[in-house]
Structure 1
């Protein structure tokens, strides 16, 4: 923080202040910028009068806080209409050339403040309080709404940019404002009447965050305050901090969702999970909803209704495990391969190779709930759930990827078991995962490749599946990351052998075997031009995907179009090119294949 912003200890610096500091600077006003002229009546819209809307009639200087070189910082706070004035402490630093420096590179800090000024709130209007040469405090006082007034305070660098010479002496560094209400406290800025104009999502947000205080908002800077029943002081900061409690995925009222137990066909724990969720809904309905009123109560009731519909979906999914033998078998297979994938993943993360050590593999409650929630829509083409797009939200590292990897495994196995498609093979693309960022796409590809390897090992143990099309995964990210065809892949591999950068994408996307953990080098990637296929063969001794076998991965576009992998992971730019690539129709069920049954947007 000190490197970016500096501190009061930076009394003398040996370089230009604008080169030393990059945060917390009020620049002089550009000669080409002009302020709105004339006096305008101050309205009731806090955002408009703060200059945060493009058609604001009056601008106290907030718009200059959003420029590349801002010349203002400010805040808008809510105060009760009984408050007569605000007390504002202003401080900032300037730097001047050190005339005693023989090398002419030194700069001396010239602090200003803290200076305390009072801002009157007795009348609606706006004004400016000169603080010193080059610095002023502007304010806007608005009329009350629901007993609360909105007040905007803006600290302005009034220096003009010099026509020549350095700008550093005309900048203010580390500006700050501390705003106090003597003997009182700040009030929530949100007008209650605004809720009547909110849509469903906004009403949900207002309900969920109703306990959060909206005392002030910053303009070009953040605003912070101490907690307590009454907040009498708010302050600006360029480095806001907030303690975010860690989310826990475990629950005491849900038994272990062990993958081995579930793979054996025992479904007592998912049933208990659903019952626990239903009990929680009842408790919120009976204890919490009765404390709400108005739109908050209506919104909370809608949430309860949606939660009960989710319970119904999970119940129907669980019911399919006892009524539909194919769904039950796919569910058991999902648990089997997910346990294998978990063991291999833990082994590779530890840097080990070979056979993995056994691990206790359990679903987190939200993961199993997500699988059950989507089960009916996944296996029943006539289900109304197919009109829904479910959002899976959990903090980073909480297990989102594992939840939809499980759903992917269930989907591709069930597709094979029921013999989807015109030829009854269940082949073709079953699942599409779409990502916006290529880096994230490659990271998820590594994890998903381990799952596909586990599915192949499972297929080896199932007599009725051994002769069917192998499960496989395809990477569809474009020439910037991977080659478009096998010839380009061969060219890229030859260049890697000569330590020359390739301009057609890099086919070496897996650096370790996702099954045994052995390191993969460009020598393990084989571009077979005659077969028009890029093969990746693990060098590990005894690996299921070594020797005459190869990893079930397709890394170039031509391979993906020709082999139509069970799972395709792609980026949005490839989907934007669908209309210009006729062969991409192979991925969407053209010919004998059934169309994809699951789309995951990451």
Structure 2
């Protein structure tokens, strides 16, 4: 079923609808009276708490100190207002900036958490930088806040607090004692049933047109002259007219005892109240509520003046009755106003590198709030719920990119695109650089020139792709066939054309495919010659914002490469190996990839290829925690039925008939296979997918999809080398092999295998190595992965003859050149697409607009700092979002009345499809469990008792089958009233990469991730196709979160520039020492065994697993009579040394480290041959080869002194 259509105005309106309700609930505006609940637990926006003893200086909020302020205590009169420490020369607190001498540099991102008081701050406000007129500045300030007064409950409130019901005019249904009375979270004491409740009423204060004229030449302070306090006192007096509670009501929150007779009816209850109040004074807030506004000026050296405005709760803390502090708050506080004399100047410079496309200026800084400032009009406003609307990028569609045209009029349509590229080059060169149409400075023009040259290179590579098609007829056929395949797939989703960057990227990669046939150059359609000899030594990084279509780009390229391999005579073997850093990444992509393989096979069947060739398969190459590594008799005994194998199902939908959830598992012991098979009686299709390591080695799928960790298997698995060296023989029952035996249980013996025809595969190594989510390969994982990546590339070149082309995809691009060089040992790396000369716009994409200059929103970020714990606040936000969803369904008429763009029930139903599920991103397993439990407990409240809330929880502990099942439930939501409907998804970062769910548009982030890259990735789960909402809970104890909150707009405008370069260093000493064992074993399994020329019956290949035989291979001299061992050269090659890709000093240090580490390892191997009973190579290597790239800790061997090693070895192995 296709998703219902919606319009952008409807989407942004419904998102605003959710935001408005969220703000009302978080600010406490929807409940004017709280019964037996504290304001501190219900109010989370603009909350100001009482402050310390006036004889003590109020310490700065830790958040404020994080923002680069001086920790010196301010004068007592200043209260909690931060004091800046400006540089006396420049008026800044840091390094002067040539561009903005008056603007100080904003603090660098910090990720450290410090313990700060959990209590809310006692002041909020903002700071502006103003340019005075005639030595003065004038500001008009408006403000508002709410406060609470304590009252006696009404009869209805008393009954409801005890769980009873109120029916006017009839005898109430009194609650049977003892019913526990609900309490606030603070205090935790149990309140006995049948006690008098307390009621806290919300009151509002608003003052406008407070005008301040300030001397900009002096450091001054001004206050509001008591106007706020007068308004507050008056509001308190008005608020306490009706049913004021007696003094000290909040001292214990244990009200007077009630009897059933007191609750018989309203008259009896009022008589009890009258008796209770006899001889008691009506209470006022204690200590007395106090509030004020303060403005401070700080002259700057350049003539500007820094103006700080703070609204503060001056109420003293109640040291005897701490509960009273949780009542004496000011809530929902905000400031707004205008600069009436003077102009706004930037106050800070963001700490990001200079770039001509980015404006680093900050125009205002909030404190304990966010602030927006109109630099033209001088209008400013604080926002406790910060907001940023992120624009949506869209592809340019001014050029023909229909699949059919590329399949039929290939060169004509490519020439048309190339001509447009050249026109862009001419415009950039003549206008932007030649006449400086963008008004850039000389330094900025140099940067722009660099971007121009990169785009020129991109155009040149596109032309080289055209030349490759002209030089290789089989490549042209494959390219045309690929367009037919991808066109059929897209048509099922309602698309008929490529995005421009997708097809351009594929064309630029075609020369790398032509190199497989030793075609290293050719002429394009204009007769220009292109040479691409060194293309395999350069990594290409595909960069586009999340949700932009990267997956289809590389699937199209993979499809073209597979078809090309078959057309050029490669009848078997791996064409592409697609890797993901996390298991979750490959669940949804796997479904897309299987569909592509299915359609590619259909296309191949119609191409009339001569000779036999394998059917196309996809191999799912992951760890044993997801799928079994081997299939033996025990496995099939334990998993004899399809039902017992369901946990291994990776694909739910049939790519042939399109059936949803029709695929089931089918074990076949004879063939030693686990099949995915469609169970639709009209289909019964066997899906082209294998999911175990053993099947992959025996079938050699054209496409392998798996996790990056599987590379470590090379150090333990003797069959691994078949992936690039190809097979030597084929068992009629079980498939390919390259060592001395088939699978365990096969009737073929070694001498039988020797009689099988010798297979000489063509170009057996993969054409493409593709890495998705490149930025996740960092630190230890990146260093370890880099060692195994270069080892595999070396083995491929030595055993198969050619390197693979390295392609990576990422949505966060910072530092990719360094990262790819350290990961893959390549000479250089290129980004595609390159930048244009305008931000958010290049040749392929631009900001989508509703009108000229009016950007469409992709997702709306809102954020706040709660008064309590962030996990509880996140759960509360999810509850609010889900209860709002309930109103969309149950209060349809009221919802339609509130929405202007959505006018019919059908339109509302379409919106509900995309906005009826919340996603809560949590930072820990504990946080996820707490949010899940909170939502389950609030189920009755959220859904008004209609059914239980459908909550799902995904974490790193979830199996792939569970993840796939939840995705299927979300993508096929069913009826909202159904008990199977998924209302809320709670997930750890397992959801933050590679998951494309168009219904995840209401998102809550429990914590701000430690890295901006993770924030970008996680938040982009929302708003993939429709406008999304991301609610960010900024933890109180996090200094970095405080800084982000204070500069929310500017931070999100520069998110991509806030990404830190990926830290990875392949030259780390401990990394080499940890991977050397696996490298040595990998050279034996991945190079020695696959290239061994002896016949299988001699057992030579199997013997290499023996330590003595392995040492003979390792100790082979480089040349007859030579003393230098050839393994030394292999180890250096496996580390990508000697090609000039790294600094000479680094390389020499690594060579010395390799030599030292190998000598030690070799000595241990020799010692093992003399002392150990078992001579297996895997047992002899010390340290053991890594079982996973996350296997960071090195094991430490130990033994009792009194027990011989041989005895322990027997217990470990033979004694089992």
The answer, yes or no, to whether TM exceeds 0.5 is yes
Q: Cα offset for 1:535?
A: 0.5
| Contact map agreement 2:653 2:660 (CA 8 A) in 1 | yes
CA distance in 2, matches of 1:30, 1:516: 71
Q: Which moved more, 1:164-173 or 1:485-494?
A: 485-494
| Contact map agreement 1:89 1:179 (CA 8 A) in 2 | yes
Consecutive unaligned residues of structure 2, counting only runs of 5 or more, are: 1-19, 61-70, 75-82, 96-103, 159-195, 230-288, 517-532, 728-763, 774-1216
Match of 1:399 among 549, 557, 560: 549
Match of 1:96 among 149, 167, 170: 149
Q: Cα offset for 1:464?
A: 3.0
Counterpart of 1:208 in structure 2 is 357
Match of 1:20 among 42, 47, 63: 42
Distance 1:29 1:567, change over 3 A: farther
Distance 1:462 1:8, change over 3 A: closer
Q: Cα offset for 1:169?
A: 1.0
Higher-Rg structure is 2
CA distance in 1, matches of 2:640, 2:213: 73
Consecutive unaligned residues of structure 1, counting only runs of 5 or more, are: 56-62, 347-358
Distance 1:459 1:285, change over 3 A: same
CA distance in 2, matches of 1:128, 1:497: 76
Counterpart of 2:605 in structure 1 is 460
The two structures have a TM-score, normalised by structure 2, of: 0.40
1:368 and 2:503 matched: yes
CA distance in 1, matches of 2:636, 2:662: 14
1:122 and 2:216 matched: yes
1:383-398 alignment runs, 5 A limit: 383-384=534-535, 386-394=537-545, 396=547, 398=548
1:231 and 2:231 matched: no
Q: Cα offset for 1:121?
A: 6.3
| Contact map agreement 2:641 2:666 (CA 8 A) in 1 | no
CA distance in 1, matches of 2:367, 2:115: 6
Q: Cα offset for 1:182?
A: 0.8
RMSD of aligned alpha carbons: 4.4
Match of 1:165 among 282, 299, 323: 323
Bigger RCO (CA 8 Å, 6+ sep): 2
Counterpart of 2:472 in structure 1 is 324
CA distance in 1, matches of 2:546, 2:109: 35
| Contact map agreement 2:51 2:313 (CA 8 A) in 1 | yes
Distance 1:51 1:321, change over 3 A: closer
Counterpart of 2:665 in structure 1 is 525
Counterpart of 1:42 in structure 2 is 86
1:516 and 2:657 matched: yes
Counterpart of 1:278 in structure 2 is 422
Q: Cα offset for 1:322?
A: 0.9
CA distance in 2, matches of 1:528, 1:517: 24
**Structure 1, residues 285-304: CA drift from partner, whole Å, max 9, x if none?**
33344132233222222221
Q: Cα offset for 1:512?
A: 1.5
Distance 1:247 1:580, change over 3 A: same
| Contact map agreement 2:139 2:338 (CA 8 A) in 1 | yes
**Structure 1, residues 438-465: CA drift from partner, whole Å, max 9, x if none?**
1x53222222221111112122223437
Counterpart of 2:200 in structure 1 is 107
**Structure 1, residues 352-387: CA drift from partner, whole Å, max 9, x if none?**
xxxxxxx77322322221212233245437434742
Secondary structure of the 1:94 match is: strand
Distance 1:383 1:98, change over 3 A: farther
Counterpart of 1:58 in structure 2 is none
Aligned length: 550
| Contact map agreement 1:25 1:175 (CA 8 A) in 2 | yes
1:171-570 alignment runs, 5 A limit: 171-189=329-347, 199=353, 202-203=354-355, 207-210=356-359, 214-225=362-373, 230-241=376-387, 246-252=392-398, 254=399, 256-264=400-408, 266-289=410-433, 290=436, 291-343=439-491, 345-346=492-493, 361-380=496-515, 382-384=533-535, 386-394=537-545, 396=547, 398-418=548-568, 425=571, 427-428=573-574, 430-434=576-580, 436=582, 438=584, 440-464=585-609, 467-476=612-621, 478=623, 497=643, 506-521=647-662, 524-540=664-680, 543=683, 546=684, 550-556=686-692, 558-560=694-696, 563-570=699-706
Counterpart of 2:21 in structure 1 is 2
Distance 1:376 1:75, change over 3 A: farther
The two structures have a TM-score, normalised by structure 1, of: 0.75
| Contact map agreement 2:472 2:514 (CA 8 A) in 1 | no
Distance 1:78 1:260, change over 3 A: same
| Contact map agreement 1:89 1:177 (CA 8 A) in 2 | yes
| Contact map agreement 1:313 1:373 (CA 8 A) in 2 | yes
| Contact map agreement 1:409 1:451 (CA 8 A) in 2 | yes
Secondary structure of the 1:598 match is: strand
CA distance in 2, matches of 1:427, 1:510: 23
Q: Cα offset for 1:427?
A: 1.1
Secondary structure of the 2:647 match is: coil
CA distance in 2, matches of 1:478, 1:138: 62
Counterpart of 2:130 in structure 1 is 79
CA distance in 2, matches of 1:560, 1:580: 17
CA distance in 2, matches of 1:373, 1:17: 61
CA distance in 1, matches of 2:222, 2:506: 60
| Contact map agreement 1:507 1:556 (CA 8 A) in 2 | no
Q: Cα offset for 1:19?
A: 3.9
Q: Cα offset for 1:164?
A: 4.3
| Contact map agreement 2:131 2:345 (CA 8 A) in 1 | yes
Distance 1:588 1:185, change over 3 A: farther
